[in-house]
């Protein structure tokens, strides 16, 4: 956020993760709310909602009618905007931080994650890093090595909760623990998480 735009990367479709990235808590696996942005040539294929006007508005302001009566592309959520009550929270967060603050939050997230990665890589197998051995704002610790001692990733997660660290587990792999010291965590708290490794 603030460092690049999905369109600059060449993406046709992007999911914007409002939970975490834009201040929505992610406890208990949700609530999540993720707008999907798509280029205009994909508009006819976007999910529709029975109760909502089937018109998309492009960035330039012109309306694109995406209604397709013969289409089977209908939303699976009963509410047109998913968990819409979350949207004002993200909007307020973005307005409060502004462009410079959002960019700074992204830079802090990258710095925090790579600091943790560097401190933990000698103790754990880290998955999905780039050619320089760095990660984005989060990384995956492979916990499969502990299965020999009959310790599963859920056991590790429960122990971390004893120390007030709420982990995300089994994403994107069953034995993975997602390490994400996101956007505003201070160095002392990060070091506490590393010390409890």
Structural domains of the chain in order of their starting residue, each with its CATH number: 109-195 (3.90.1150.10)
| More confidently predicted of 194 and 184 | 194
Pick the closest to residue 32 from 41, 23, 40 (CA basis): 23
Residue 180: how many other CB atoms lie within 10 Å: 20
Q: Where are the alpha helices (DSSP H) in the chain?
A: 6-9, 87-120, 153-162, 187-195
- Give the model confidence (pLDDT) of 69-126 as tens digits: 445 556 666 666 677 777 888 899 999 999 999 999 889 889 988 998 998 899 888 8
CA distances from 125 to 78, 121, 177, 182 (A): 42, 7, 11, 20
pTM of the model: 0.70
DSSP-derived secondary structure letter, 28: G
| More confidently predicted of 173 and 65 | 173
Q: What residues form DSSP beta bridges with 56?
A: 64
Query: To which H or E segment does residue 82 belong?
Result: none
- Sorted by sequence, the CB contacts under 8 Å of residue 30 that are 6+ apart come out as 19, 83
3-state class percentages of the chain: helix first, strand second, coil last, to nearest 5: 40, 15, 45
Structural Rg of the chain based on CA atoms: 20
Strand order in 139-142's β-sheet?
125-127, 139-142, 176-179, 168-169
Contact between 143 and 149 (Cβ < 8 Å): no
Q: Retrieve residue 184's tokens.
A: 């505003």
Q: CA 77 to CA 83: how far, in whole Å?
A: 9
Residue 1: how many other CB atoms lie within 10 Å: 21
Helix (H, G, I), strand (E, B) or coil at 83: coil
pLDDT bracket for residue 194 (50, 70, 90): low
Q: What is the mean pLDDT of residues 139-151?
A: 88
Percent of the chain past pLDDT 90, that is, above it, reads 14
- Give the model confidence (pLDDT) of 126-136 as tens digits: 888 999 999 98
Q: What angle do CA 123, 125, 126 make, to 5 degrees?
A: 110
């Amino acid at each position: 956020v603030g460092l690049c735009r999905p369109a600059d990367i060449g993406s046709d479709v992007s999911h914007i993760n409002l939970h975490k990235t834009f201040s929505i808590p992610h406890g208990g696996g949700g609530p999540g709310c993720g707008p999907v942005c798509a280029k205009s040539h994909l508009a006819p294929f976007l999910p529709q909602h029975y109760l909502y006007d089937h018109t998309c508005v492009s960035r330039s302001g012109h309306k694109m009618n995406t209604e397709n009566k013969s289409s089977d592309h209908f939303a699976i959520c009963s509410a047109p905007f998913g968990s819409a009550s979350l949207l004002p929270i993200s909007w307020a967060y973005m307005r409060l931080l502004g462009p410079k603050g959002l960019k700074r939050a992204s830079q802090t997230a990258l710095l925090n994650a790579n600091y943790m990665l560097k401190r933990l890589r000698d103790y754990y197998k880290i998955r999905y890093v780039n050619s320089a051995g760095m990660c984005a704002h989060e990384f995956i610790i492979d916990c499969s090595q502990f299965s020999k001692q009959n310790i599963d990733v859920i056991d590790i997660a429960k122990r971390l909760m004893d120390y007030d660290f709420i982990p995300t587990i089994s994403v994107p792999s069953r034995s993975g623990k997602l390490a994400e010291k996101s956007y505003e965590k201070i160095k002392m708290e990060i070091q506490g998480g590393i010390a409890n490794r």
